[in-house]
Amino acid sequence: MTTRTNDRGRAPGLVPKERRGPTRMSSASLVETSWLPSAQGFPLVVEPRMRSLSAVAWAEQQKCWIEDQLLATGAILFRGFHLPDRHSFRAFASAMDSELLDYVERAAPRAQVAPNVFTSTAFAPDQSIPLHHEMSYSHNWPARLWLYCEIPPDAGGATPIASERQVTKHLEPWIKSAFLDKGISYVRNYGVGVDMTWQEAFQTTDPAEVEHYCRSSATAFEWRDGDRLHTRAIRQVTVTHPRTGEELWFNHAPIFHETNLPPEVHEALRAQFDPEEMPRNAFHADGSPLDPRMLDAIRRTYQRFAVRFAWHKGDVLMLDNFLAVHGRDPFEGPRSILVAMAKLHHNPMIGLEPREPGAR
């Protein structure tokens, strides 16, 4: 780590600490801040000066300071704190966010390992997961993510992150205009023999619960033979940060679009399904196809600003889900990165009753 705190206890350019009463602990005396090598400004690295420091007690007393730093940078890596297991991780996250969230309308398989603590996406180790905002395909999403390294991989397995402020600033204007003019929609087909079943995605076996969820989230749905479910949802292209007022790129188009699939998988699925019948796909809001050139350019911009670091056991990565995207690199050996989510944000433009092409 190359940059240490200045004489006021903070890295240059960060939000100044609040003035606190004499009974409160001083963040300057108990932790030091820095940046990762060659990653000035993102993420902020926070480390304890004393191994005996109680991570949970410190987080509880420094909540305002931590939130200020997160808002300034978009991502904080807590490293070197005594957080030996998933239960201490949950306690640490709960010190900042007392109400951790469940995971509904899933886009990937996960297992719950502690109350509202989940495994990371269970994709094959040789596959990468592109940079994305958590649940930006939905009508609501967590404003905050917590990732915890329970078992670091033998090789690879980084969780690349990127600043959405930089990505939004550098996306080509013609791409922004095309998306904002024509919007975006997501199609999912559950129970087609690949990808997820509707029971797994919605965490219920009751079709009535799924229908209620779809109606409340402005998602058109159609039940089909063979216990299959087809959904279509028009969603946001950009969002306004609830605290800073920044307009930020925020959608799942590069992830959900069929061109995100490995070429051999894409070819096999297209031989079996039309674009609207793929397990998942993305279109403009009017149903017209997306230009693959736009999606490639978006992916290149995310990679341009991607930051990678090797996980250490006990690391906690805290992300503002508006200001940062995350992904996963391929890895070797065992790897366990756990996830907690907090601060559910509802899109104020979503909630109108959708037209239902079919009913069950």
Domain ranges of the chain: 27-155+310-345, 166-301
CB count in 10 Å sphere of residue 87: 13
27-155+310-345 and 166-301 share one fold? yes
Homologous superfamily in CATH for domain 27-155+310-345:
Clavaminate synthase-like (3.60.130.10)
Name the burial class of residue 113, with classes exposed (0-12), middle (13-18) and buried (19+) by CB atoms within 10 angstroms of its CB.
Answer: middle
* CA 321 and chain centroid, separation: 6
What is the DSSP code (8-state) at residue 248? E
Distance CA 347, CA 139 (A): 6
**What mean pLDDT value characterizes the chain?**
88
pLDDT value of residue 65: 95
Q: Is cis: bond before 48, omega within 30 of 0?
A: no
Report angle CA 260, 126, 135 to the nearest 5 degrees. Answer: 45
Phi then psi dihedrals of residue 100, to 5 deg: -80, 150
Give the predicted TM-score (pTM) of the model. 0.88
Query: Cβ distance 240 to 165 under 8 Å?
Result: no
The string of pLDDT tens digits covering residues 247-269 is 999 999 999 999 999 999 999 99
**Coil, helix or strand for 105?**
coil
**Residue 25 pLDDT greater than 60, yes or no:** no
**Coil, helix or strand for 167?**
helix
Sequence-ordered list of residues with C-beta below 8 angstroms from that of 311, at least 6 positions apart, any chain: 149, 152, 153, 157, 158, 159, 337
Query: Cβ distance 143 to 343 under 8 Å?
Result: yes
**Confidence category of residue 3, pLDDT binned at 50, 70, 90:** very low
What is the DSSP code (8-state) at residue 115? T
263-289 mean pLDDT: 95
Task: Please report which residue ranges of the chain form alpha helices under DSSP H.
Answer: 27-30, 55-61, 63-73, 86-96, 164-170, 173-182, 198-202, 207-216, 253-256, 263-272, 292-304
pLDDT value of residue 356: 39
Q: Which of 233, 227, 206 is nearest to 107 (CA)?
A: 233
**Coil, helix or strand for 189?**
strand
| C-alpha gyration radius of the chain | 21
33-59 mean pLDDT: 93
The string of pLDDT tens digits covering residues 162-212 is 999 999 999 999 999 999 999 999 999 999 888 889 999 898 999 999 999
CB count in 10 Å sphere of residue 66: 21
pLDDT value of residue 194: 82
Of 38 and 258, the structure prediction assigns the larger pLDDT to 258
Query: Cβ distance 162 to 307 under 8 Å?
Result: yes
Distance CA 271, CA 56 (A): 53
Q: Which residues of 187-204 are buried (b: 16+ CB within 10 A; e: fewer)?
A: bbbbbbeebbebbebbbe
Q: Identify the weakest region by mean pLDDT among 11-20, 207-216, 246-255, 265-274.
A: 11-20
Query: Cβ distance 228 to 190 under 8 Å?
Result: yes
- Protein fold of 166-301: Double-stranded beta-helix (3.60.130)
Name the residue with tokens 């932790």: 31
**Residue 70 pLDDT greater than 70, yes or no:** yes
Name the residue with tokens 């915890």: 148
pLDDT value of residue 14: 47
Sequence-ordered list of residues with C-beta below 8 angstroms from that of 177, at least 6 positions apart, any chain: none
**Residue 74 pLDDT greater than 60, yes or no:** yes
128-137 mean pLDDT: 95
pLDDT value of residue 122: 74
